Amino acid sequence: RLAEWRSQRLADTADPLRVAVIGGGAGGVELALGLAAKFRREGPPARLELITATRRPLEDRPPAVQRLV
């Protein structure tokens, strides 16, 4: 039933799916990047937002790593 609901929900709207990932650490960034890749490959169109308490994701990592995100 969940699959049917999901298919119907996606068919009913042209708006992209909105997904928020909470946490700008390594886990949150990895999850957001993985979801973005999955949505690009398989759809539906999605808008992902990474929500973090710091100014930028991966703030505890070297600047070179932060620039990759």
pLDDT tens for the chain, residues 1 to 69: 767 767 776 666 677 889 999 999 999 999 999 999 999 998 888 999 999 999 889 999 998 988 888
pLDDT of residue 13: 67
Count Cβ atoms within 10 A of the Cβ of residue 63 and give its class: 0-12 exposed, 13-18 middle, 19 or more buried: exposed
Q: What is the pTM of this model?
A: 0.74
Buried b (16+ CB within 10 A) or exposed e, 3-15: eeeeeeeeeeeee
pLDDT of residue 32: 96
pLDDT of residue 49: 95
